[in-house]
C-alpha cells in the first residue's frame, strides 16, 4: 500500500444515494510519462460501517499522475517541453482484435518504433456505431506510454438554436460520457473536436500561422462560435485536459491545420514555419500533413465543371505519375513501370468511352504503394521538411499518409487466421476476437511486424522522426539553406544540429570531417536538455588551390544513450572564375540597372542604350532583367534577321505572357536539367550544378499576390493565361534557380537548353533562331541574387561567350509529300512548305513524308536516292518498314507495337534529336506504332530513329496521327500527347533546318493594347507560339487543399 485516505463518517437516508468526494494531499514519488509508463497506481474504495467492518469494496481503478500544459508555442509535459509526432489511431474503427488491449499495444509499439508519441482517435464524429469501445485501447496507451487525444462529439450533429441548447440538446450528456471514458487514464491529455468544420482558406498561409490572425469567412466564423460553445461544455466537465479543434486554424488553445500544399517547393516548406517560430504565440499542429500527397500525382484539384469535391469525386483524375515525377527525377521518370502502363491504358479507355471514374477505379488505384517514384519523392520531401520543422520547433507534426510508407513483404499470408479462445476467462472485461480476415493493410494494423518493409519514404521517416536527431544543416544565418556549390578560396559554413525530443537530458559527442586533401576535423560535446536542441557552427575556408571536384562533409554524433547517428553533405567545388570573353560590341538596355551591375562585376564591356535607339554598329544586344514591360518602348529587333544576337535576361511573367505571348509559370524551381548537355551555354554545368543555388532569387517577391475567389470558395487564386486558377502561397525564394518559366513553344525554332517542372515542359534557358540571328532567353535566376553562386556566375559567362561564338546554320525549305492531316498541321505550326512534285527536289531541302505520300515517292525511288545522297534531308512521319523502304535508299524494318513511353539520354548538340526529351514521346493514348527495329539507329524504343548520319529521321508518333491541330475536341489525354508531339515535330524539323514562323520578333516592338491583356481574341498567348487554346486543367500547378 502506497497511501491510505479516510473520509469523515458518511450518512445516508435509507433507500437514498449520495456522491461523496474523498480528498487528501499526496505528492506521488513518480510521474507517468511516455518513457515511464509503469508509473501507475491502483485505487480501491472500501465502505466500512461504524465499527470498521467491511460492507462493500470497489474494483481497483488504475491511474497515473502527469501534467500537460501550454507555454507559448510549446507543450510542457511534467515540467519539460515535448514536441509531438502524431498519427490517427484507427483501432476502434477496424475491429475487435485491434481494439483489444493486446492488439492496441502492438499497434502503439509499432507506431513508437518510428517516433510517434501521440495519437488521436480517428472517429471524427461519435454517432452510434462509429467506433468500438476505447477502454482497452486507452489502457494499452497507458501501458506503452503513448499520449492520446480522445475525440469528443462533433458539434455539427446537434441543434444549437434553442435558447437552452447548451444544456438540452444532448451534447453535454454525450460529452460527459466520453469524459468518463477518458477517466483516470494518464495517456489521455487532449480532447479533439470540431473536426474539419471550422478551418478557413488562410490557415496554411505562412504569414498567418501564429495564433494571432484568424481571417475567417462567415461559414467558418459561425461554426467557430458553435465550436467554442461545445469546448466550454467539455471544459466544465473535465477542466484537466486541453481541448483543441481539428483543422481549425487559430481557434482555442492552438493553431491546427490540415496541411496539404500539393507540390509546393520543398525549400519553401522548409521556410514555412519561420514566421510562426519567431512571432507565433500558440502551438501549431499539422494534424493532417502530407506534402506531397499521393493524390497530388493526378491533375484533379478538387474542382470539376464548377463543382467542388474531395477524394471521393467521380471525375477524370488524370493520374500523371511520370509527368509529376519528372520535375524531381528528370528523364528517368519516363522509365515507367508496368503498373503505370496498365493505368494509362485503362484511363485512355475511360476517355474514349466518355466515362468519369473514382481514384480507386484504376487497376493500381491512386495511392497504391506500387509506384516507386512516389516513395522516392515523398522521401526527399520528408528528409528536408522534417529536419526543418524540427529545427523551427514545430509543436506537433503528423505524417498523415504513413500507411503508404511500408509495404507488405512478397508472399505475406492474407488467409483467414482463427484465434484461440480462453474459455476459462471468457467473462473477463474486454474483447475476445475469434478470427482475423480481410485485414486493414497498414503497418500498425495488420500482419506481423516482420511482414512489413519500409519504402524510401518509410526509411526517411525512420531516420528523421525519432526522438534523438543529429544532422548537418545550413549556415547559422540560413539554417534551411542547401548551399553546396563553392569556388576555391571561399568560406564554407554549415552547422551541426542536435535535437533531443526524448524525455531525458542527453550528452552528445560530435565529430566532423571535411575531406580536403589534408582533412579538416573538429569535435564538440554538447548537453541537450529534453525538448531542446544544440547547434554547433562548422566553418572552413577552402584552399585557394583546391582542385575542382566533390568533397564530403561528414558528422558522427554519439549520444549518451549509446546510439550513434551519421550525416553527410556533398560539397561541389567549381573551377575558379575564368576571365570574361569579349563578345564584340554589346548594347545594353537595362532600365533597372541590375544587369549592368552583374556584367560589370564580371568585367564584360557594354554600352548602355536608351529604348528606341538604333542598334547599328552593335554585334549583340542584352535586354537587362525586367527591361520588358507591357507598354514600354524597346529597340527595333528586326536586325535579328540580318544577324543581330540578343540575350534576354530574366523578365516578369506579365511581360512574357501578355507582350510576347509565352505561356509561363511562376513556380520557383530549385532543380532544372540539361536538355542539351554539351551546349556551350552550360559548359561544365551538370544537373548537380543546376540546383539549390546560394542565397535567394529576387525576380519575384517572396510572397505571391493572391486573390480570394468566390468561384473557388474563397481559395487563393491568380490569373494564368487569362484564366482564374487556384494557387498555393509562396514562401520565399531561397535556393531558387528559376522563378518564372516559359512553356516550350510549339511554333518556331526554339531550342530548350535546360528544362524542368511538370512533364519537363518548361524551359528557363531557350535559344531561338530567326533568320541569320539568334535570341537567347535566360530565365535562370542569375541577376540580383542575395548571394552570388559560382554556377550562376559561370552560366552568365557562358552566355556572353555564346553571343560571341554563335554562328547561323543554313536554313532549309520544306517540301511536303503526304495527306491533308499532316498538311494542316504543318500550316498551323507556321511551317512554310512546297508540295512535292517529281523532279523538284534539291539538296538544300527537307522532304517531309507521311504514309499518304509514299506511293508517289516510291514511283521515283531513283530521284529520292540522288536527293538523299546529295545531302538532302528527310523527315519520315509514322511510316512502317515497307513504306519507308519503298522510296528510301536503305532497307528499314519496323515492328508494330504498343507505344506508351520511351527513355533515352539527352541528345547532344550535334544530334538531329537535340532539344527532345522522353516527355515529348510520352503517349497518354496508347496505340500500335511502327517502331524502328533495323536499318536506322533507334532512339529509345524506336519511336525515333535516324539514318545516314542524321540526314534521315523517323518520327513514329506524328501529332497529326493523334488529332487535328490544337486537338480542340480531343479528350485531355490526347490533348496533352498532341501538345508534346507537336513540339517534337517542330523541333525535329528545326534541327533539319526548317524553321516555323512566329510573330515574336514584332511583338518585342509592339506595346500591348489593353484589350490583349485579358482573355479574348487579342490575347497574344492564344496565337503565334502554341497550337491549342489553354484550359484550366492545362495549368498543372493549380492548388487544392485536400
DSSP letters, 602-662, are TT---EE--TT---TT-SEEEE-TT---SS------GGGGGT-EEEE----HHIIIIII--
pLDDT digits (tens, 9 = 90+) for 152-163: 999 999 999 999
What is the Cα–Cα distance from 200 to 247, expressed in whole angstroms? 9
* Dihedral sign of CA atoms 559, 562, 565, 566 in order: positive
Query: Which residues, 6+ apart, have CB-to-CB distance to 282 below 8 Å?
Result: 70, 72, 73, 210, 211, 250, 253, 254, 255
For position 127, what pLDDT does the model report? 87
pLDDT at residue 1015 greater than cutoff 70: no
What is the Cα–Cα distance from 863 to 845, expressed in whole angstroms? 14
pLDDT digits (tens, 9 = 90+) for 231-248: 999 999 999 999 999 999
Nearest to 267 by CA among 215, 211, 328: 328
Q: What percent of the chain has pLDDT over 90?
A: 91
Residue 580 contacts residue 603 (beta carbons within 8 Å)? yes
* Dihedral sign of CA atoms 716, 718, 720, 723 in order: positive
What is the Cα–Cα distance from 826 to 847, expressed in whole angstroms? 13
Helix H segments across 145-252?
Answer: 165-168, 171-182, 218-237
What are the grid coordinates assigned to 755, written together? 528544362
For position 432, what pLDDT does the model report? 84
Place of cell 542524321: 950
What is the Cα–Cα distance from 381 to 261, expressed in whole angstroms? 12
- Burial (CB count within 10 angstroms: exposed 0-12, middle 13-18, buried 19+), residue 618: buried
What are the grid coordinates assigned to 1029, written together? 487554346
- CATH of segment(s) 586-809+1015-1027: 3.40.50.880
Query: 813-994 domain in CATH 3.30.465.10?
Result: no
Please compute the mean of the pLDDT values over residues 281-287 and round it to a whole number.
98
Where residue 17 falls among pLDDT bands split at 50, 70, 90?
A: low
What is the Cα–Cα distance from 243 to 249, expressed in whole angstroms? 14
What are the grid coordinates assigned to 905, written together? 539520354
Strand pairing category for 749-756 and 607-608: unpaired
pTM of the predicted model, to two decimals? Answer: 0.96
Where residue 976 falls among pLDDT bands split at 50, 70, 90?
A: very high
pLDDT at residue 1010 greater than cutoff 80: no
pLDDT digits (tens, 9 = 90+) for 715-741: 999 999 999 999 999 999 999 999 999
pLDDT digits (tens, 9 = 90+) for 101-141: 999 999 999 999 999 999 999 998 888 889 999 999 999 99
CA angle, 378 as apex, 376 and 384 as ends, to 5°?
105
What are the grid coordinates assigned to 421, written together? 479462445
pLDDT at residue 14 greater than cutoff 60: no
- H/E element holding 596? helix 594-601
Lowest mean pLDDT among 419-423, 485-489, 524-528, 632-636: 419-423
DSSP classification of residue 399: B
Query: Which residues, 6+ apart, have CB-to-CB distance to 743 below 8 Å?
Result: 662, 663, 664, 665, 761, 762, 763, 1026
Query: Which residues, 6+ apart, have CB-to-CB distance to 421 below 8 Å?
Result: 432, 434
What is the Cα–Cα distance from 216 to 234, expressed in whole angstroms? 24
Please compute the mean of the pLDDT values over residues 535-556 and round it to a whole number.
97
pLDDT at residue 1 greater than cutoff 80: no
Please confirm whether the linkage preceding 662 is cis (ω < 30° from 0).
no
- CATH of segment(s) 488-573: 2.60.40.10
Please compute the mean of the pLDDT values over residues 25-34 and round it to a whole number.
91
Please compute the mean of the pLDDT values over residues 305-310 and round it to a whole number.
92
For position 423, what pLDDT does the model report? 82
Query: Which residues, 6+ apart, have CB-to-CB distance to 338 below 8 Å?
Result: none
Q: Give the bridge partners for 308, in sequence order.
A: 303
User: Alpha carbon of 322 to those of 336, 338, 524, 992: distances in Å?
Assistant: 7, 12, 45, 29
User: Alpha carbon of 60 to those of 41, 43, 431: distances in Å?
Assistant: 9, 5, 20
What are the grid coordinates assigned to 448, written together? 506481423
pLDDT digits (tens, 9 = 90+) for 785-807: 999 999 999 999 999 999 999 99
For position 428, what pLDDT does the model report? 77
CB atoms within 10 A of CB 703: 14
pLDDT at residue 1013 greater than cutoff 60: no
pLDDT digits (tens, 9 = 90+) for 442-471: 999 999 999 999 999 999 999 999 999 999
For position 128, what pLDDT does the model report? 85
- Burial (CB count within 10 angstroms: exposed 0-12, middle 13-18, buried 19+), residue 425: exposed
Domain ranges of the chain: 1-65, 68-295+375-412+445-456, 299-365, 488-573, 586-809+1015-1027, 813-994
What is the Cα–Cα distance from 440 to 804, expressed in whole angstroms? 65
Q: 128 vs 1036, which has greater pLDDT?
A: 1036
For position 343, what pLDDT does the model report? 98
For position 16, what pLDDT does the model report? 61
Helix H segments across 238-320?
Answer: 266-270, 274-279
Please compute the mean of the pLDDT values over residues 482-492 and round it to a whole number.
97
SS (H, E, C) 794-820: HHHHHHHHHHHHCCCCCCCEEEEECCH
Mean predicted lDDT score pLDDT of the chain:
95
Residue 436 contacts residue 99 (beta carbons within 8 Å)? no
Helix H segments across 888-1010?
Answer: 972-992, 1000-1004
For position 395, what pLDDT does the model report? 98
Of the candidate CATH numbers 1.10.10.10, 3.40.50.2300, 3.20.20.80, 1.10.287.90, the domain formed by 68-295+375-412+445-456 belongs to 3.20.20.80
Please compute the mean of the pLDDT values over residues 269-284 and round it to a whole number.
98
For position 19, what pLDDT does the model report? 72
Same fold, 586-809+1015-1027 and 813-994: yes
Where residue 584 falls among pLDDT bands split at 50, 70, 90?
A: confident
Amino acid at each position: 500500500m502506497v497511501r491510505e485516505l479516510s473520509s469523515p463518517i458518511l450518512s445516508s437516508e435509507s433507500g437514498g444515494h449520495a456522491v461523496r468526494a474523498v480528498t487528501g494531499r499526496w505528492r506521488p514519488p513518480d510521474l507517468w510519462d511516455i518513457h515511464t509508463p509503469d508509473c501507475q497506481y491502483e485505487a480501491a474504495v472500501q465502505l466500512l460501517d461504524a465499527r470498521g467492518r467491511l460492507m462493500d469494496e470497489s474494483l481497483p481503478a488504475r491511474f497515473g499522475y502527469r501534467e500537460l500544459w501550454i507555454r507559448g508555442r510549446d507543450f510542457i509535459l511534467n515540467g519539460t517541453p515535448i514536441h509531438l509526432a502524431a498519427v490517427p489511431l484507427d483501432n476502434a474503427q477496424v475491429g475487435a482484435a485491434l481494439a483489444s488491449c493486446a492488439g492496441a499495444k502492438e499497434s502503439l509499439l509499432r507506431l513508437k518504433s518510428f517516433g510517434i508519441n501521440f495519437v488521436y482517435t480517428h472517429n471524427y464524429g461519435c454517432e452510434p456505431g462509429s467506433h468500438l469501445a476505447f477502454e482497452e485501447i486507452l489502457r494499452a496507451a497507458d501501458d506503452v506510454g503513448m499520449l492520446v487525444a480522445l475525440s469528443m462529439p462533433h458539434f455539427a450533429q446537434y441543434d444549437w438554436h434553442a435558447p437552452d441548447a447548451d444544456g438540452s440538446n444532448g451534447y453535454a450528456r454525450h460529452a460527459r460520457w466520453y469524459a468518463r471514458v477518458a477517466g483516470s487514464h494518464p495517456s489521455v491529455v487532449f480532447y479533439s473536436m470540431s473536426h474539419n468544420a471550422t478551418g478557413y482558406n488562410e490557415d496554411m498561409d505562412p504569414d498567418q500561422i501564429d495564433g494571432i490572425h484568424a481571417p475567417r469567412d462567415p461559414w467558418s466564423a459561425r461554426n467557430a462560435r458553435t465550436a467554442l460553445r461545445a469546448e466550454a461544455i467539455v471544459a466544465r466537465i473535465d477542466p484537466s485536459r486541453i481541448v483543441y479543434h481539428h483543422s481549425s486554424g487559430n481557434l482555442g488553445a492552438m493553431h491546427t491545420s490540415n496541411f496539404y500544399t500539393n507540390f509546393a517547393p520543398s525549400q519553401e516548406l522548409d521556410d514555412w514555419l519561420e514566421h510562426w517560430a519567431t512571432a507565433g504565440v500558440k502551438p501549431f499542429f499539422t494534424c493532417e500533413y502530407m506534402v506531397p500527397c499521393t493524390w497530388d500525382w493526378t491533375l484533379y484539384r478538387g474542382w470539376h465543371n464548377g463543382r467542388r469535391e474531395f477524394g471521393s469525386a467521380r471525375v477524370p483524375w488524370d493520374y500523371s505519375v511520370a509527368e509529376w515525377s519528372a520535375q524531381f527525377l528528370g528523364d528517368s521518370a519516363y522509365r515507367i513501370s508496368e503498373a503505370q502502363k496498365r493505368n494509362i491504358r485503362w484511363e485512355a479507355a475511360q476517355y474514349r468511352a466518355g466515362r468519369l471514374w473514382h481514384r480507386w477505379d484504376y487497376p493500381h488505384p491512386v495511392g497504391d504503394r506500387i509506384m516507386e517514384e512516389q516513395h522516392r519523392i515523398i522521401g526527399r520531401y520528408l528528409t528536408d521538411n522534417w529536419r526543418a520543422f524540427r529545427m523551427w520547433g514545430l509543436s506537433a507534426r503528423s505524417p498523415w499518409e504513413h500507411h503508404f510508407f511500408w509495404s507488405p513483404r512478397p508472399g505475406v499470408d492474407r488467409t483467414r487466421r482463427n484465434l484461440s479462445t480462453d474459455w476459462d476467462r471468457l467473462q473477463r472485461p474486454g474483447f475476445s476476437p475469434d478470427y482475423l480476415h480481410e485485414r486493414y493493410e497498414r503497418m500498425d494494423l495488420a500482419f506481423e511486424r516482420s511482414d512489413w518493409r519500409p519504402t524510401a519514404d518509410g526509411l526517411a521517416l525512420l531516420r528523421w522522426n525519432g526522438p534523438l536527431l543529429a544532422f548537418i544543416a545550413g549556415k547559422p544565418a540560413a539554417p534551411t539553406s542547401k548551399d553546396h556549390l563553392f569556388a576555391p578560396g571561399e568560406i564554407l559554413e554549415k552547422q551541426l544540429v542536435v535535437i533531443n525530443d526524448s524525455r531525458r537530458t542527453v550528452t552528445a559527442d560530435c565529430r566532423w570531417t571535411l575531406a580536403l586533401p589534408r582533412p579538416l576535423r573538429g569535435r564538440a560535446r554538447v548537453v541537450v536538455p529534453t525538448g531542446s536542441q544544440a547547434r554547433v557552427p562548422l566553418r572552413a575556408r577552402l584552399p585557394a588551390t583546391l582542385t575542382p571536384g566533390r568533397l564530403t562533409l561528414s558528422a558522427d554524433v554519439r549520444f549518451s544513450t549509446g546510439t550513434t547517428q551519421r550525416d553527410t553533405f556533398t560539397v561541389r567545388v567549381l573551377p575558379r572564375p575564368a576571365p570574361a570573353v569579349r563578345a564584340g560590341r554589346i548594347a545594353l538596355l537595362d532600365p533597372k540597372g541590375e544587369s549592368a551591375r552583374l556584367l560589370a562585376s564580371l568585367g564584360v564591356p557594354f554600352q548602355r542604350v536608351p529604348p528606341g535607339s538604333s542598334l547599328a554598329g552593335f554585334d549583340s544586344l542584352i535586354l537587362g532583367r525586367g527591361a520588358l514591360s507591357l507598354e514600354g518602348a524597346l529597340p527595333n529587333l528586326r536586325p535579328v534577321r540580318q544577324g543581330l544576337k540578343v540575350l534576354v535576361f530574366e523578365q516578369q511573367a506579365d511581360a512574357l505572357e501578355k507582350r510576347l505571348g509565352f505561356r509561363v509559370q511562376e513556380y520557383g524551381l530549385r532543380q532544372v536539367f540539361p536538355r542539351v548537355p554539351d551546349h556551350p551555354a552550360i559548359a561544365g554545368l551538370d544537373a548537380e550544378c543546376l540546383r539549390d543555388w546560394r542565397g535567394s532569387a529576387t525576380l519575384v517577391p517572396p510572397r505571391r499576390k493572391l486573390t480570394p475567389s468566390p468561384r473557388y470558395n474563397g481559395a487563393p487564386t491568380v490569373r494564368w493565361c487569362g484564366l482564374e486558377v487556384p494557387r498555393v502561397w509562396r514562401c520565399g525564394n531561397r535556393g531558387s534557380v528559376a522563378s518564372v518559366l516559359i512553356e516550350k513553344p510549339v511554333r518556331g525554332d526554339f531550342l530548350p537548353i535546360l528544362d524542368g517542372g511538370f512533364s519537363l515542359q518548361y524551359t528557363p534557358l531557350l535559344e531561338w533562331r530567326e533568320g541569320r540571328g539568334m535570341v537567347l532567353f535566360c530565365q535562370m535566376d542569375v541577376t540580383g541574387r542575395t548571394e552570388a553562386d559560382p554556377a550562376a556566375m559561370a552560366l552568365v559567362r557562358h552566355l556572353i561567350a555564346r553571343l560571341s561564338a554563335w554562328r547561323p546554320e543554313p536554313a532549309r525549305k520544306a517540301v511536303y509529300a503526304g495527306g491533308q492531316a499532316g498538311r494542316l498541321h504543318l500550316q498551323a505550326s507556321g511551317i512554310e512548305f512546297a508540295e512535292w512534285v517529281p523532279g523538284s527536289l534539291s539538296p538544300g531541302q527537307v522532304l517531309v513524308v507521311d504514309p499518304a505520300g509514299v506511293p508517289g515517292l516510291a514511283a521515283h525511288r531513283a530521284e529520292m536516292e540522288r536527293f538523299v545522297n546529295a545531302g538532302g534531308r528527310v523527315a519520315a512521319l509514322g511510316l512502317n518498314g515497307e513504306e519507308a523502304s519503298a522510296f528510301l535508299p536503305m532497307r528499314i524494318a519496323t515492328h508494330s507495337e504498343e507505344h506508351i513511353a520511351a527513355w533515352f539520354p539527352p541528345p547532344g548538340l550535334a544530334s538531329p534529336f537535340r532539344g527532345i526529351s522522353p516527355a515529348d514521346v510520352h503517349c497518354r493514348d496508347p496505340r500500335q506504332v511502327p517502331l524502328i527495329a533495323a536499318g536506322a539507329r533507334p532512339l529509345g524504343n524506336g519511336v525515333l530513329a535516324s539514318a545516314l548520319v542524321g540526314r534521315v529521321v523517323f518520327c513514329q508518333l506524328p501529332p497529326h496521327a493523334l488529332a487535328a491541330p490544337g486537338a480542340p475536341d480531343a479528350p485531355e489525354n490526347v490533348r496533352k500527347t498532341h501538345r508534346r508531339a507537336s513540339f517534337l515535330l517542330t523541333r525535329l524539323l528545326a534541327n533539319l533546318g526548317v524553321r516555323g514562323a512566329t510573330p515574336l520578333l514584332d511583338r518585342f516592338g509592339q506595346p500591348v493594347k489593353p484589350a490583349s491583356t485579358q482573355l479574348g481574341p487579342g490575347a497574344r498567348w492564344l496565337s503565334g507560339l502554341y497550337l491549342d487554346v489553354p484550359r484550366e486543367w492545362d495549368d498543372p500547378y493549380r492548388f487544392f487543399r485536400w
